[in-house]
Structure 1
């Protein structure tokens, strides 16, 4: 199965760590953070996802992906190339993300205003967007990840 994994969550919610621990062996990484010097990162991201899926490689897109519109483009692209589209929602509290972000240095640290803007724009994913599979991902004690199947009623409660 060729998969397009879409990581969804605030900055410093654990998306990159989750990728490294759970997807790096099986999925190529595409992230706009790695395309900072590209004048058109969205176009380049689409190109990299297309190249990998066309070559038969699963891909993980590690961006905040906080809006339905951002995810729709990826979901449509994945389906058009025959991939199973899976969403991983990293459900982290803003306060925890702010704390982890404060520990970052250099270009890895996001201005706090970026986190506030992301939390304001954040729309939780839903199967109605076109996902084939959805998962909640929480950070358990010791930094391990707790991956659970998505349940729509739980998602609407917060």
Structure 2
């Protein structure tokens, strides 16, 4: 990589690149719609995320190129004495930089951001069809302490 990775909040100008990264994946290619123009659902979701003070859509950049993305949601809980949690979701890196440490730096940045927001825990999920991702998160210190369940509506 030519320069140091920078992290910033995503702008609407980044949305096309973000959706392209989400779709450039075995599972993502089956559930995302990367089209030109993008479906309105992505624009509406982006606006909902960026106007919510407890959500941040963060991009990793090399020079001016967006090479990674993650969404961080900050949630207050009554459990853990009213503590806050950060949930990291939608983590993707561009195919051109996979295996170069961008994902590691992205997650480390997300953890530091959670600490700054006063969170007592960072949580995430990964699809069981992604064993490499599970190993990646475990190398970063995440422990599979819970069984996650989902109900598609």
TM-score band w.r.t. shorter chain: 0.3 to 0.5
TM-score normalised to structure 1 length? 0.32
Tell me which protein shows more helix as a share of its residues: 1
Higher relative contact order (CA 8 A, sep 6+): 1
TM-score normalised to structure 2 length? 0.33
Tell me which protein shows more strand as a share of its residues: 2
